[in-house]
Structure 1
Amino acid sequence: MSYAKVLVGVLLFITLATTSTAFTCNTTTAKSTCNSLVDYVSPNTTVLSTIQSLFQIMRFHDLLGANGFPNFTSPNETLQAQQRIKIPFTCRCENGTGVSDRAPVYTVKKDDGLFHIAAEIFSRLVTYQEIAEFNNIPDANNISVGQVLRIPLPCSCDEVEGVKVVHYAHVVQPGSSVDQIATEFGTTTPILLNLNGMTSATDLQPYQVLDIPLKACNSSVNSSSLDYPLLVANGTYVYTANDCVNCKCSSANNYILQCEASVLKPSSKTWSTCPAMHCNGTSSLYLGNVTTSTNCNQTFCAYSGFTNKDIFTTLATESTCPAGGPTGSPTSSPGSDASKTGMQGFRWNFLFISIQLIFLCFTLS
Structure 2
Amino acid sequence: MVPSLFSSVAILLLHLFLVSSASATNFTCTGLATCQSAIVYTSPAATTYIELLSSFETTTLHDLFDANGLPPSTLSHTAIPANATVIIPFRCSCVAGANRSESQPFHIIQPNDNMSYIAAQFDDFVTYQEIAAASNISNPDFLEVGQELWIPLPCSCDQVEGNNVTHFAYKVRAADNVSKIAARFGVKESTLLKINGITDPKNLTQGQILDVPVP
* TM-score using structure 2 length: 0.89
* Equivalence map 1:105-184=2 (5 Å): 105-119=106-120, 121-184=121-184
**Are the counterparts in 2 of residues 195 and 211 from structure 1 also a CA contact under 8 Å?**
yes
**Are the counterparts in 1 of residues 21 and 208 from structure 2 also a CA contact under 8 Å?**
no
Q: 1:9 to 1:132 in 2, by over 3 A?
A: closer
State how far apart, in whole Å, the 2-side matches of 1:91 and 1:172 are: 21
1:24 aligns with 2:24: no
Deviates more, 1:186-195 or 1:155-164: 186-195
State how far apart, in whole Å, the 1-side matches of 2:59 and 2:186 are: 29
State how far apart, in whole Å, the 1-side matches of 2:19 and 2:46 are: 23
Could you say what secondary structure the match of 1:154 adopts? coil
Q: 1:176 to 1:163 in 2, by over 3 A?
A: same
**Are the counterparts in 2 of residues 39 and 125 from structure 1 also a CA contact under 8 Å?**
no
Q: Which runs of 4+ in 1 moved over 2 A?
A: 1-13, 197-205
Q: Which runs of 5+ in 1 are unaligned?
A: 216-365
7, 13, 18: which one pairs with 1:15?
A: 18
**Are the counterparts in 2 of residues 63 and 88 from structure 1 also a CA contact under 8 Å?**
yes
Could you say what secondary structure the match of 1:64 adopts? helix
Q: Which runs of 5+ in 2 are unaligned?
A: none
Equivalent position of 1:222 in the other structure: none
State how far apart, in whole Å, the 2-side matches of 1:87 and 1:202 are: 28
Equivalent position of 1:339 in the other structure: none
State how far apart, in whole Å, the 2-side matches of 1:84 and 1:19 are: 18
**Are the counterparts in 2 of residues 124 and 171 from structure 1 also a CA contact under 8 Å?**
no
TM-superposed CA distance for 1:69, in Å, is: 0.6
Q: What is the root-mean-square deviation in Å for CA atoms of aligned residues?
A: 2.3
> Which one-letter code corresponds to 2:23 in the other structure?
S
> Which one-letter code corresponds to 1:62 in the other structure?
D
Higher helix fraction (1 or 2):
2
State how far apart, in whole Å, the 1-side matches of 2:59 and 2:201 are: 38
**Are the counterparts in 2 of residues 57 and 63 from structure 1 also a CA contact under 8 Å?**
no
State how far apart, in whole Å, the 2-side matches of 1:177 and 1:8 are: 28
Equivalent position of 2:48 in the other structure: 47
Q: 1:155 to 1:71 in 2, by over 3 A?
A: same
Could you say what secondary structure the match of 1:155 adopts? coil
Equivalent position of 2:213 in the other structure: 213
Q: 1:58 to 1:179 in 2, by over 3 A?
A: closer
Equivalent position of 1:82 in the other structure: 83
Aligned length: 211
TM-superposed CA distance for 1:66, in Å, is: 0.8
State how far apart, in whole Å, the 2-side matches of 1:15 and 1:57 are: 26
Higher relative contact order (CA 8 A, sep 6+): 2
* Equivalence map 1:27-38=2 (5 Å): 27-28=31-32, 32-38=33-39
* TM-score using structure 1 length: 0.54
State how far apart, in whole Å, the 2-side matches of 1:5 and 1:188 are: 43
TM-superposed CA distance for 1:113, in Å, is: 0.7
State how far apart, in whole Å, the 2-side matches of 1:138 and 1:88 are: 30
> Which one-letter code corresponds to 2:18 in the other structure?
T
**Are the counterparts in 1 of residues 59 and 90 from structure 2 also a CA contact under 8 Å?**
no
